[in-house]
Structure 1
Amino acid sequence: MPVHELACLRLKNGHPLTSPGNEGTLRKLRAGILEQARYTNSATHVLSQIEDPSVFYILGNWESVSQHVDEWIPCKKNQTIMGGLAEDVELVFLEHLEIPSSDAMGNAGEVPLTADVIAIGRYFVSHGEKEAFRGTLNETKHRLERFNEGKGLCGGWREDKEVGDEGHAKEEFVLFSGWTSVDEHMQFAESEGFKDFVRIKEFLKGAEIKHATVVFSSHP
């Protein structure tokens, strides 16, 4: 099953990826991302988090979770790449998302990378509430799409689920949306439409929403 990789990493020196002190790391990362793009024969993107610029994301496409985890990660080429980065970078999380090519509302299954700012919303769904969350999101996400004026909206469920303390698989939905600025997104939280959209909170254990901008993209 095709999946989207969402990897979150942090620079150990606490500086932004594009700062002068990280020139060497950025150069190694560019080379490594290009190799990944060639391996997957698809574009791979690096984004810098706005809230904490020492954090960055890798967005990539894979034929399956296994292709990434069992084939690419342990292969010699990737191990050489990561070996060159390990001193400067640490992994925060890695997950794989199933993002449909389109949904019932006609939203394209593409992360809105052309937007000035991309919001990355991670929604942690309460046990047994997946279908209720899904239905409510489908009913209300047009509120968000209208407010961001078509700058892009797509999302998907995490495939490589973690297991909670009670032995249940943790359900996580990740929603990407495009904005002109962080402030524009914050204004949505003060709108009438948000009062409807926020009904999804009834089915959540928690949520994490961050914002990012594209640093560079590599193509095969």
Structure 2
Amino acid sequence: MAVTELAWLTAASGVLTNEAKEATNQALIVQDEWTALNAPDLPKDRDGRGVALFQQVEDPAICLLTAHWDSVAQHGVWLESPENKKVFPGLGDYYELEKTSLFHLENIWLFNSSRVPGEISLLESPVISVRKTTILAEKRQEFEKQWEEVKGLLEDFAKPYLVKFAWRIEKTDPGLEEFVLTCGWPSVERHQEWAKDTSFEKYASVLLPFRQSQDVKHYQRVL
């Protein structure tokens, strides 16, 4: 089962420094080499593996590290590898590692490049939004049905940028599911205009009744 890793890091200095970016890049070089030897079915290039570092717009101390894996288990093998255990602690000079959190999205490689001419992938977007919405687990199927009815409204508004979405695998509450919606944008301001669009009222009226909680943040790729 294809999965996408989303890992949040907190910069130790309160802002992401060039030194932190370079240290992250060096750690990813080790991961590049490890995947080439131990996960040969994964794409060889970072973009193909969805590997990127994003910085949050709302709080520049927060960074989002992403990657594609064939499974959660495969990612776990990397996390437990001697190579990762050697390089990860070194990032503690630049990040508050005790605050690191991560989870996986099911059945998707979120950051795949588009094969449609003119479409702009998440990795190529100047800004991406990440919206995490929790709903009651018993309402998941009903939500999915309603989402299929209205997602085209957002997709049309966001064009040529892509809209990608998936469910979180790891549960924090057995009674809840978390739906993660990502979208590329030319700017944060363009995303904010979505709420003023004539089609937004229909979109929101269908989905809002399912929402238990919601968090939305914007990110810019820095690596």
TM-score range, shorter chain: 0.7 to 0.9
SS of the residue 1:128 aligns to: helix
CA distance in 2, matches of 1:142, 1:38: 39
CA distance in 2, matches of 1:64, 1:193: 37
SS of the residue 1:59 aligns to: strand
Q: Which amino acid aligns with 1:193?
A: S
1:26 to 21, 24, 39: 21
Greater strand share, 1 or 2? Answer: 1
CA distance in 1, matches of 2:203, 2:107: 20
Residue 6 of structure 2: aligned partner: 6
**Distance of aligned partners of 1:161 and 1:123 in 2 relative to their CA distance in 1, 3 Å threshold:** same
Greater shift in the superposed pair: 79-88 or 136-145: 79-88
Report the TM-score, using the length of structure 2 for normalisation: 0.82
**Distance of aligned partners of 1:28 and 1:122 in 2 relative to their CA distance in 1, 3 Å threshold:** same
CA distance in 1, matches of 2:30, 2:144: 36
Residue 171 of structure 1: aligned partner: 177
1:72-109 deviation per Cα after TM superposition (whole angstroms, max 9, x unaligned): 1121111111110124313442010124479xxx998x
Residue 71 of structure 2: aligned partner: 64
**Distance of aligned partners of 1:47 and 1:113 in 2 relative to their CA distance in 1, 3 Å threshold:** same
CA distance in 1, matches of 2:115, 2:136: 25
CA shift at 1:36, angstroms? 2.2
Is 1:98 aligned to residue 93 of structure 2? no
Residues 37-186 of structure 1: pairs in structure 2 closer than 5 A: 37-40=32-35, 41-42=42-43, 43=46, 44-69=51-76, 71-89=77-95, 90=97, 91-100=99-108, 112-162=122-172, 164=173, 168-186=174-192
SS of the residue 2:59 aligns to: coil
Once superposed, what is the RMSD of the aligned Cα atoms?
A: 2.3
CA distance in 2, matches of 1:200, 1:33: 38
1:8-60 deviation per Cα after TM superposition (whole angstroms, max 9, x unaligned): 11112211x2xxxx333222110112222343344211111111111111110
CA distance in 1, matches of 2:209, 2:150: 13
CA shift at 1:158, angstroms? 1.1
Unaligned residue ranges in structure 2 (runs of 5+)? 36-41
SS of the residue 2:138 aligns to: coil
**Distance of aligned partners of 1:178 and 1:206 in 2 relative to their CA distance in 1, 3 Å threshold:** same
**Distance of aligned partners of 1:54 and 1:154 in 2 relative to their CA distance in 1, 3 Å threshold:** same
